[in-house]
Structure 1
Amino acid sequence: MKALLLYPQFPQSFWSYDRFMEIAGFKAVIPPLGIITVAALLPKEWEIRFCDRNVNPETDADWQWCDLVILSAMLVQKPDFHALIQKAVKLGKKVAVGGPYPTSLPQEALDSGAHYLILDEGEITVPHFIAALNQGQEQGIFRAQEKPDVTQSPMPRFDLLKRDAYFMMAIQFSRGCPFNCEFCDIITLYGRKPRTKEPSQAIAELQKLYDLGWRGSLFIVDDNFIGNQRNVKRFLRELIPWVKQHNYPFTFMTEASVNLAEDDELLDLMNQAGFYAVFLGIETPDQDSLKVTHKLQNTRHPLIEACRKINQAGMLIYAGFILGFDGERSGAGERIQAFIEKSSIPQPMLGILQALPNTQLWHRLEKEQRLVEGVGITKVGDQNTLMNFTPTRPVAEIAKEYVEGFWNLYEPKNYLKRCFKQCLKINSPAERKQTMQFPLGKGLRLVSQVIWHQGIRRPEIRQQFWQQLLTIVLIKPQVLNMYLGLCAAGEHFWEYRVLARERISEQLGYDPLKVTVKPEKEPMLVRS
């Protein structure tokens, strides 16, 4: 079997970092870990070609060569995913698809012409798919009722990657999350019982990347790295001597729940292992909204204090915030902005709530007949969309707070000020690497580009840039890489805030930042 594995393109989005990638000389932020793990599950005798279309698009020769096309996708990759299915079918190729998007909405993949749906987690369903192929089945849907033991998961095919095209490499230690947030599809896809690999298994993956020559930042892509705190501590206790022995070849970032701040031992272990950043799902400072959405772990202790403790443990904070929860009071956007300014989180991901398929929120709104069709991320795969349900306060009000918040937060002076303040807050050890890392050639390119764009070309921030840069060099030089990386990312966000405003304005039919009075009519919502 000759299999062509394709990973669809991402549209310009919050996480695509388009201008940053261009400035630094990268093609994409992280590699697609799911599909290269699937590659490791395929029979050894198969011939495999892999293309991440965000890095190296496939050629006409690849299409002619293959018997089978395998695709994996998230919802945001929806447009290119369907285009690839349709192209493969037109060329007479068999198509197999998997990943979070087709697992959540399988009918959409079938409607585009996919022959095989390898859903849920591949450790269970890929062998069923291969058995069906061997029996000559022309199509099939392969699902799993149970969750696999990830200690049996194979090492991803890191050798298939064009590694120098990525800003970071990636591994996965766990799947699942113990919490019960109503809007989250992670517990729907991967369950509420966190399953972890063995520490030796994760270390072996790091050793493989080390042996392949990777040095620099590495993203542990778990949706909640600390979901199983006992096992993550076991892993960290083995990781610490490994990074010391190898002279700290990687610095790490990951995603975690806010209760990370409640465990001093865990924070210390992450610090010793070289974690420089963590993404937190803060969502909102409004306690009522957190209770409504069942995110009770965020209500136990003050969120500002949690951020301070994580900074003190040497970690930069990225965070997600959401507008549009049921019962949300007017001014939620302003309260989120105030929280972000107080915590100095540099890159807050502000979004409008979406009801993702099969989540508790989706099922509740379906019962309440509040889901709508023709709008939202489920329709277009775009982050900058109005909600796909009827909210409890006016859509126009939520949209205005979203655009206004995003516009103000990513105003260049505001953004650079937060980057500066966050870097000064981080208790980063001077004696070892624990910061954002860049390969030497790309690092020099990034520094020169940042100096040109922000230190010379942009008069509105020129003085601020030089003053802050000099202070970082004199007071805390160990975070200089991190500060310059954050500055470079600003070039992406200053473009992206314009795009976000345009996308929302198109859906509303007017620019919410230019309207001082509420419109007479709400945007049209079509009940499903």
Structure 2
Amino acid sequence: MRALLLWPIMPNSFWSYQETLALAGLRATNPPLGLITVAAMLPSDWEIRLSDRNVRLETDADWEWCNIVILSAMIIQKQDFGELIQKGKRLGKKVAVGGPFATSVPEFVLEAGADYLILDEGEITIPMFLEALEKGEEKGIFRATEKPDVTQTPLPRFDLLDLNAYIAMTVQFSRGCPFQCEFCDIITLFGRKPRTKTPEQILVELEVLYQMGWWRYVFIVDDNFIGNKRNAKIFLRELIPWMEKRNYPFALLTEASLNLAEDDELLELMVKAGFVQVFMGIETPDVESLVGANKEQNTRKSLVESCHKITKAGLQIMSGFILGFDHEKPGAGKRIQEFVEETNIPQAHLNLLQALPNTAMWNRLQKEGRLIDALGEFLGSQKSLINFVPTRPMTEIADEFIETFWNLYEPIPYLKRTFRHFMMMEGWRAKYQRTLTKAEWDFLGAICWRQGILRSTRFHFWWQLIVMAWHKPNLLYDYLIALGVGEHFFSFRHEVKVEIESELALLQQQEFDKKSATLSYKP
């Protein structure tokens, strides 16, 4: 069997970092961990080619060569995903699909023409798919009735990747989250009981990357790395000596819940293991909205104090924020902006609330008859309006969103709070034993040129750089990287503003036409 594995194009979004990637001479943020793990589950006598279309487009020769196409996608990739399925069918290829989007919305891939739907988690459903192929079955939908034991998950096929194309490599320690936030689809996909790999498994994966010469960031892609605190601590205690022995070859990133601030031991272990950044879903400083969304774990302690504690320990925080909760009071955008300034969080992932398929929120809104345009073109990104009828005017929420997103990424405020964020860090930081490459020097030079010479940020940039170099030299590299990431947002906010205003104008025109039609109707 000759299998072509395709990872669809990722549209420009908060996570794509297109402007930053261009400055760094890179092509994508992260590789498709799911697909390279699937590749490791396929029979050893299969021939495999992988094309991450964000790095390199597959060729006509690739299509001619293969006799089966295997695709995975997230919801934000659905347009290219659907087109690739259709192309495969036009060319007479068997098409197999899986991943989070296909699992959540199987009707989409069926309509596009996919032959095999390998849904849920592949450790269970890929063997079912392979058995169907052996029997000569032309189509099939394969679903799991249980969650797999991830200690049996094979080593991902990192050898299929172009390592020079990415900001970060990815590994996975756990699946699932113990919380039940109404809007989140993680518990729908992976359950509420976090399942973890063994420390030995992850260390083998890290060792493979180390031996391959990888030296940039490693993103542990768990949706909540500390969902199982006990196992996380066991892993970290084994990771620390591994990292020490190799002079900390990677800087580690992950996602975690805000209750990390409640566990001093866990926080210290993460820092000592080489973690430098953590993404946290804060969502909103409005307690009523958090309670309404079943995110009560964020209401137990002061959000500001929790963020400050994590930052002081030495972890850079990225945060998720949402506008559009039910019964949200006007001015929520301004309150988020004030919170971001108070906590000095550089990168605030602000989104309009969107109902994701099969979440508790989706099901509730469906019963209430409030879902609209459930799978709009930009669903899953900052360029999409709310896909349900909100409890306050859509225009009011969208205007707040545009203003808040714009203000968060004004260059001077971004530089100021990034500086304050790193100056707040007091914790231990690993000294990475390597010299900068020419590409890194070029990237840092481009940041200095743009922010230190071309823009009105020049005074703040140079003053902050001197102070940072004097007082926090061990944080200087990460600080400059954070400023470089800002380049993406300075540009992307224009795109967000134009698209949201366009969608809002279209929505208003549709409402106007509907009212006009009603007024002109004469029975």
CA distance in 2, matches of 1:524, 1:206: 58
Structure 2 CA distance, aligned partners of 1:525 and 1:461?
Answer: 47
- State the 1:75 CA deviation: 0.3
Q: 1:205 to 1:441 in 2, by over 3 A?
A: same
> 1:362-441 counterparts in 2 under 5 A?
362-373=362-373, 376=376, 382-429=381-428, 432-433=431-432, 440-441=437-438
Query: After superposition, where does 1:168-187 map in structure 2 within 5 Å?
Result: 168-187=168-187
Q: Distance in 1 between matches of 2:427 and 2:288?
A: 35
Q: Is 1:349 the counterpart of 2:335 in the alignment?
A: no
Distance (whole Å) between structure 2 residues aligned to residue 41 and residue 183 of structure 1: 32
Aligned partners of 1:522, 1:69: CA distance in 2, in Å?
Answer: 43
TM-score, normalised to structure 1, is: 0.95
- State the distance in 2 between where 1:525 and 1:424 align: 55
Amino acid in the other structure paired with 1:406: F
Give the residue type in structure 2 aligned to 1:91. L
**Is 2:286 the counterpart of 1:286?**
yes
Letter in 2 for 1:107: E
Would the alpha carbon gap of residues 139 and 334 (structure 1) be closer, same or farther in structure 2, given more than 3 Å must change? same
Provide the secondary structure at the position in 2 that maps to 1:372. coil
Q: Tell me the alpha carbon deviations over residues 85-114 of structure 1, each in whole angstroms, 9 at most, x when there is no partner.
A: 111111111100000001000011011111
Secondary structure of 1:169's aligned partner: strand
Superposition deviation, residue 525 in structure 1: 10
Question: Which residue is equivalent to 1:332?
Answer: 332
Q: Displacement, 1:432?
A: 2.4
For 1:220 and 1:472, locate their aligned partners in 2 and report how far apart those are by CA, in whole Å.
28
Aligned position for 2:10? 10
The answer to whether the aligner puts 1:487 opposite 2:483 as a matched pair is: yes
Q: Conserved in 2, the CA contact under 8 Å of 1:346 and 1:419?
A: yes
Which whole-Å CA distance do the structure 2 matches of 1:521 and 1:401 have between them? 21
* Contact residue 372 and residue 525 of structure 1 kept, 8 A: no
Residues 1:64 and 1:311: Cα distance change in structure 2 (over 3 Å): same
Alpha-carbon shift at residue 441 of structure 1 (Å): 2.4
Structure 1 residues 194 and 438, CA gap change in structure 2 (3 angstroms): farther
State the AA in 1 paired with 2:416. Answer: K
Asked if structure 1 preserves the Cα contact closer than 8 Å seen for 2:173 and 2:197, the reply is: yes
1:510 CA displacement: 8.1
CA RMSD of aligned residues (A): 1.9
Structure 2 residue matching 1:225: 3-state secondary structure: coil
Q: How does 1:256-335 map to 2 (within 5 A)?
A: 256-335=256-335
What's the offset of the Cα at 1:307? 0.6
Cα distance in 2 between the residues matched to 1:223 and 1:374: 24
> How far is 1:442 from its partner?
2.1
| Distance apart, 1:373 and its partner CA | 2.2
Helix, strand or coil for the counterpart of 1:304?
Answer: helix
Change in 2 beyond 3 A, CA 1:189/1:374: closer
**Once the 2 structures are TM-superposed, how far is the Cα of residue 433 of structure 1 from its aligned partner?**
3.6
For 1:185-228, what per-residue CA distance to the aligned partner results, in whole angstroms no more than 9, with x for missing partners? 00000000000001111111111111111112110000000000
AA aligned to 2:169 is M
Q: Return the offset for 1:376.
A: 4.3
Say if 1:242 and 1:380 are closer, same or farther in 2 by CA, change over 3 A. Answer: closer
- Aligned CA distance change for structure 1 residues 431 and 208 (closer, same or farther; 3 Å): closer
Please state whether the residue corresponding to 2:184 is helix, strand or coil: coil
Secondary structure, in 3 states, of the residue corresponding to 1:318?
Answer: strand
Distance 1:430 1:50, change over 3 A: closer
The answer to whether 1:224 aligns with 2:220 is no
Contact 2:272 2:428 in 1 (8 A): no
- Structure 2 match to 1:106: 106
Go from structure 1 to structure 2 and tell me whether the alpha carbon gap of 1:173 and 1:374 turns closer, same or farther (over 3 Å shift). closer
- Equivalent-residue separation in structure 2 for 1:319 and 1:464 (angstroms): 24
Using the aligned pairs only, state the percent identity.
57
Shift of 1:523: 8.3
- Quick one: structure 1 residues 131 and 431, their matched pair in 2 at CA, closer, same or farther if it must change by over 3 Å? closer
Classify the secondary structure of the residue corresponding to 1:63: helix
- Note closer, same or farther for the CA distance 1:236–1:463 as it changes in structure 2 (3 Å cut): same
Report the Cα distance in structure 1 between the residues aligned to 2:514 and 2:491, rounded to whole angstroms.
Answer: 29
What is the Cα deviation at residue 455 of structure 1? 1.3
Q: Does the residue aligned with 1:373 lie in a helix, a strand or coil?
A: coil
CA change 1:97–1:521 in 2 (3 A) is closer
Tell me which residue corresponds to 1:514. Answer: none
Does the CA-based 8 Å contact 2:274-2:430 persist in structure 1?
Answer: no
1:456 paired with 2:453, answer yes
120 and 521 in structure 1: CA distance in 2 versus 1, 3 angstrom threshold: closer
- Give the Å deviation of 1:12: 0.7
Distance in 1, matches of 2:510 and 2:335, equals 26
Within 1, Cα distance between the matches of 2:67 and 2:161? Answer: 21
Deviates more, 1:462-471 or 1:344-353: 462-471
Distance 2:123 2:513 in 1: 43
Separation in structure 2 between the aligned mates of residue 253 and residue 418 of structure 1, nearest angstrom: 20
Q: 2:418 is matched by which residue type in structure 1?
A: C
For 1:442, the equivalent position in structure 2 comes to 439
1:232/1:522 Cα in 2 relative to 1: closer, same or farther (>3 Å)? farther
The residue type equivalent to 2:437 in the other structure is L
**Equivalent of residue 468 in structure 1, options 464, 467, 474:** 464
TM-score, normalised on structure 2? 0.96
- Letter of the structure 2 residue corresponding to residue 283 of structure 1: E
1:34-62 CA-partner distances (Å, limit 9, x unpaired):
01000000000000000111111111111
- Structure 2 unaligned spans of 5+: 516-523
Measure how far apart 1:524 and its partner are: 8.7
Structure 1: where are the runs of 5+ without partners?
A: 512-518
Residues 1:77 and 1:438: Cα distance change in structure 2 (over 3 Å): farther
| Distance of 1:24 and 1:85 partners within structure 2 | 32
Change (3 A) 1:62 1:523: farther
Q: Relative to structure 1, is the Cα distance of residues 381 and 308 closer, same or farther in structure 2, using a 3 angstrom cutoff?
A: closer
3-state SS in 1 of match to 2:84: helix
Task: Identify if the C-alpha distance between structure 1 residues 108 and 257 changes in structure 2 by more than 3 Å, giving closer, same or farther.
Answer: same
Residue 82 of structure 2 corresponds to residue 82 of structure 1: yes
Query: How many Å apart are 1:464 and its aligned residue?
Result: 1.2
Where does 1:151-190 land on structure 2 (aligned, <5 Å)? 151-190=151-190
| 1:490 positional shift | 1.6
Task: In structure 2, give the amino acid aligned to 1:446.
Answer: F
- Which deviates more from structure 2 when the two are superposed, residues 381-390 or residues 197-206? 381-390
Which whole-Å CA distance do the structure 2 matches of 1:428 and 1:25 have between them? Answer: 32
The Cα of 1:429 is off from its aligned counterpart by 2.9
Describe how 1:99-248 pairs up with structure 2 within 5 A.
Answer: 99-248=99-248
